[in-house]
Structure 1
Amino acid sequence: MAGGKCETGVAGGANRANGRLSAWRSPDILVDLREASMARHSAGILLYRGAKDGVEVLLVHPGGPFWRGRDRGAWQIPKGLVRAGEEPLAAACRETEEELGIRIDGIPVPLATIRQKGGKVVEAFALHQDVDVKALHSNSFEIEWPPGSGTMAAFPEIDAARWMSLGEAGHCILASQDPLLGALAELLEPGPR
Structure 2
Amino acid sequence: MARRSAGILLYRRGASGIEALLVHPGGPFWAKKDQGAWSIPKGEIDPQEEPQAAARREFLEETGVAIEGELFPLGAFRQPSGKVVLAFALEGDLDPSHVKSNLCRIEWPPRSGRQIDIPEIDRAGWFPLAEAEAKIVAGQRPILAALAARLAG
Smaller-chain TM-score bracket: over 0.9
Q: Runs of 5+ in structure 1 lacking a partner?
A: 1-37
Whichever residue aligns with residue 49 of structure 2, its letter is: E
1:117 corresponds to which letter in structure 2?
P
1:14-36: CA deviation from partner (whole Å, max 9, x where unpaired): xxxxxxxxxxxxxxxxxxxxxxx
Q: How many pairs align?
A: 153
How high is the sequence identity, in percent, across the aligned residues? 56
| Distance (whole Å) between structure 2 residues aligned to residue 187 and residue 147 of structure 1 | 41
Aligned match of 1:5:
none
2:24 to 49, 52, 61: 61
| Aligned: 1:100 with 2:58 | no
Matches within 5 A, 1:1-193: 38-190=1-153
The list of structure 1 runs, each at least 4 consecutive aligned residues, that deviate by more than 6 angstroms after superposition, is none
Between the aligned partners of 1:147 and 1:174, the Cα distance in structure 2 is: 22
Q: C-alpha offsets along residues 125-147 of structure 1, whole Å, 9 cap, x if unaligned?
A: 00011000001100010122223
- Taking structure 2 as the reference length, the TM-score comes to 0.96
TM-score by length of 1: 0.76
Query: Which of structures 1 and 2 has the bigger CA Rg?
Result: 1
Q: Per-residue CA shift, 1:10-58, capped at 9, x if unaligned?
A: xxxxxxxxxxxxxxxxxxxxxxxxxxxx201000000001101211000
Gaps of 5+ in 2: none
Q: SS of the counterpart of 1:177?
A: helix
Query: In structure 2, what is the Cα distance between the partners aligned to 1:52 and 1:176?
Result: 27
CA deviation string 1:145-177 (max 9, x = no partner)? 223443321100001111000010011111110
Q: In 1, Cα distance between the equivalents of 2:141 and 2:110?
A: 31
Q: Distance in 2 between matches of 1:151 and 1:183?
A: 41
Give me the whole-angstrom Cα distance separating, in 1, the residues matched to 2:107 and 2:128.
Answer: 36
> Secondary structure of the residue that 1:163 maps to in structure 2?
strand
2:59 maps to a residue whose letter is T
